[in-house]
Amino acid sequence: MEQFVVSAIKYRPLSFASVVGQSTIGATLKNAIQRGHLSHAYLFCGPRGVGKTTCARIFAKTINCLNPGADMEACGECESCRSFSEGRSYCIHELDAASNNSVDDIRTLVEQVRVPPQIGKYSVYIIDEVHMLSAAAFNAFLKTLEEPPSYAIFILATTEKHKIIPTILSRCQIYDFNRITIGDIVSHLKDIAQKEGVTCESDALNIIARKADGAMRDALSIFDRVVSFCGNNVTYSAVIEDLNVLDYEYYFRLTDALMTHNYVESYMIFDEVLKKGFDAQHFVSGLNSHFRDLLVCKDVRTISLLEVGQVIAERYKQQSAACLVDFLYEALNIVNKCEMEYKLSGNPRLLVELTLLNLSYIGTEKKNESSEQNVEAKPATNTEQIVVQKKPETAAIPEAPKGISLKNMLSDVKKENKAPEIVKTAELAQEKSFTEDELVAEWKNFAEQIKAQLPRLSSRLLERSPKLVSEQLVQYPVISESYKEQMEKRSTDLINHLKKTLSPSITVEWIVQGENVENEGKTRLYTQQDKINYIRSANNVIDEIIKDLDLDYR
């Protein structure tokens, strides 16, 4: 039986060109080799499985190659290349800092640096997981790292650059490796599958790539596992079953239920997900990503941000076309809030169910308001009369008492501030003069007519009497500029009433005269001290009581 070699080792890159997703770093290193601008220390940092150690080995192999190509790739045939490939090279040394992190280990390395290379120009020392070195080991390594022999080159690799002391960082050329994109991973897996004679669905490879989270080594390990489960025919359904991945279909079904305000169906889908063993927090996170993917499908410029297979992408485009941007925006806010509060919740399932309930009622409030407006709107039948509320002819069935709602209170205020629905007259009064008494009478008549609909506006109109300044000019005093602005906005129907009953040329002017208008000469008491002084001035006995009892009234 032939021995199995895992894909991560079998297909490990042997040249800069074969390293996936790090073309910029490969080009920089090759240019440095070609020009002879080699540093004595390099730091390769980035996430796991993105090619840091692989690039370090390729770099070490290339600078010692006796016959490098025109593109600065190792020939693979010279003695130096063969010894490296066979694992017997004395020019390239690898050290695992996770298990060799003491001062003694670094001292041994320093002693080894003194030995020149036997074949090739350079002795290359690759130290993996260098952040695991102790503080004392770092300090012991500083001098050698700063001034090594001319033939010594150090390549340090780490996943946690922030743990390396600044004195080490300042002595190295730093290369930051990127996460490998889903597209690059899928493309590389297709090539490997073709070489291995394995048939793979595009969506299945996409799931593997997403599960790898930007690490090619993880993607190859998952690929081997899936092939062991599926055989030579890797399908999407088999991959999600083997990897225990939540199927996209759940989110598509859930979104359809939420858009039709069917919270019962959304509850049943969530329960089905839990019964299959998936974590509720994982479900919420996936739902958040699903709404995000639907949002990026709304515009052709952002659709490239969608990292899914071709078949799934078509489903996203179809469902995105049926979703409003307002729905997706509000849904993202609701789900994101649930995701943040999940760990703090004492009943996570209830939290998710409440989130689904809120999602299912997105947009219903606007529909209710629209239907109420349609019911309230009635065609005008008499253009010469003001529309007022009629008393019901039959006794209405008493409604159950409702709780106090801030939303309803604000709605009532808005309705009260809204101008009354008064039909404009079709025939204006004849041009004529009128007395101030007639003006006051019609003014009060209008205020009484709107009292049932707009009691607050009615009371303001009845606070004082209007003044007839000239033949057609009426002035009414208010206490502030804000009152003036409000009355100007809400006086259209009043002016129409006066034009109909008195004169079509009449105009109303709102005059700001300060607070003394409202108080009619009375002093307003604002502070506690003002109130005490007023009481003392009104009753002399108060001073004697304060003095006898030694009271502090301030």
- Per mean pLDDT, which range of 67-81, 220-234, 450-464 is the poorest? 450-464
Residue type at 356 in one-letter notation: L
pLDDT value at position 388?
39
Q: How high does pLDDT run on average in the chain?
A: 81
Binned at pLDDT 50, 70 and 90, residue 395 comes out as very low
Label residue 394 exposed, middle or buried (CB < 10 Å: 0-12, 13-18, 19+).
exposed
For residue 508, the surrounding DSSP H or E stretch is: strand 507-512
pLDDT value at position 519?
47
Residue type at 476 in one-letter notation: Y
- Per mean pLDDT, which range of 328-337, 385-394, 463-472 is the poorest? 385-394
- Mean pLDDT computed over 166-178: 91
Q: d(Cα 224, Cα 394) in Å, to the nearest integer? A: 79
In terms of phi and psi (left: phi > 0; alpha: psi -120 to 50; beta: otherwise), the region of 509 is beta
The residue among 286 and 370 whose pLDDT is bigger is: 286
| pLDDT value at 554 more than 60 | no
Q: Residue 402: helix, strand or coil by DSSP?
A: coil
The residue among 372 and 180 whose pLDDT is bigger is: 180
- The b-or-e profile of 346-383 (16+ CB within 10 A means b, else e) is eebeebbbebbebbbebeeeeeeeeeeeeeeeeeeeee
Range from 106-120, 341-355, 418-432 that averages highest in pLDDT: 341-355
Binned at pLDDT 50, 70 and 90, residue 372 comes out as low
Helices (H), 1-102: 7-10, 23-35, 52-63, 79-85
- Per mean pLDDT, which range of 46-60, 111-125, 172-186, 348-362 is the poorest? 111-125
The answer to whether residues 453 and 418 touch, using CB atoms and an 8 Å cutoff, is no
- Mean pLDDT computed over 254-280: 90
Binned at pLDDT 50, 70 and 90, residue 2 comes out as low
Q: Residue 386: helix, strand or coil by DSSP?
A: coil
Q: Please compute, for residue 114, the number of CA atoms within 13 A of its CA located in the half-sphere on the CB side.
A: 4
pLDDT value at position 430?
60
Domain 7-176 indexed as CATH 3.40.1550.10: no
Helix 528-538 to helix 541-549 angle (10° resolution) is 120
| CATH no. for 248-365 | 1.20.272.10
| pLDDT value at 517 more than 80 | no
Domain assignments of the chain as residue spans, ordered by start:
7-176, 182-243, 248-365, 436-519
Identify the DSSP state of 39: -
Give the closest residue to 20 by CA, choosing from 214, 222, 211: 214
The residue among 74 and 380 whose pLDDT is bigger is: 74
- Per mean pLDDT, which range of 24-33, 67-76, 424-433 is the poorest? 424-433
Binned at pLDDT 50, 70 and 90, residue 350 comes out as very high
- Mean pLDDT computed over 273-301: 89
The answer to whether residues 322 and 258 touch, using CB atoms and an 8 Å cutoff, is no
pLDDT value at position 276?
85
The residue among 6 and 548 whose pLDDT is bigger is: 6
pLDDT value at position 375?
54
pLDDT value at position 98?
86
The answer to whether residues 236 and 271 touch, using CB atoms and an 8 Å cutoff, is no
Q: d(Cα 68, Cα 65) in Å, to the nearest integer? A: 6
Instruction: Please state the φ and ψ torsions of residue 334, each to the nearest 5 degrees.
Output: -65, -45
| pLDDT value at 42 more than 90 | yes
> Whats the size of the chain, residue-wise?
554
Q: d(Cα 28, Cα 281) in Å, to the nearest integer? A: 42
pLDDT value at position 174?
93
- Per mean pLDDT, which range of 228-237, 266-275, 381-390 is the poorest? 381-390
- Mean pLDDT computed over 91-95: 87
**Cβ neighbours of 105 (radius 10 Å):** 19
| CATH no. for 436-519 | 3.30.300.180
- Per mean pLDDT, which range of 43-47, 121-125, 371-375, 533-537 is the poorest? 371-375
pLDDT value at position 284?
92
- Per mean pLDDT, which range of 100-109, 209-218, 439-448, 515-524 is the poorest? 515-524
pLDDT value at position 396?
42
Percent of the chain scoring above 90 in pLDDT = 19
| pLDDT value at 425 more than 80 | no
| pLDDT value at 175 more than 90 | yes
The answer to whether residues 113 and 144 touch, using CB atoms and an 8 Å cutoff, is yes
- Mean pLDDT computed over 155-183: 90
- Identical fold, 182-243 and 436-519: no
The residue among 137 and 3 whose pLDDT is bigger is: 137
**Order of all β-strands in the sheet with 507-512:** 467-468, 473-478, 507-512
Residue 115: C-alpha distances to residues 100, 111, 151 (Å) = 20, 8, 10
Determine the topology of domain 182-243 in CATH: Helicase, Ruva Protein; domain 3 (1.10.8)
pLDDT value at position 154?
93
pTM of the model: 0.59
pLDDT value at position 369?
57
The answer to whether residues 131 and 164 touch, using CB atoms and an 8 Å cutoff, is yes
Q: d(Cα 122, Cα 153) in Å, to the nearest integer? A: 7
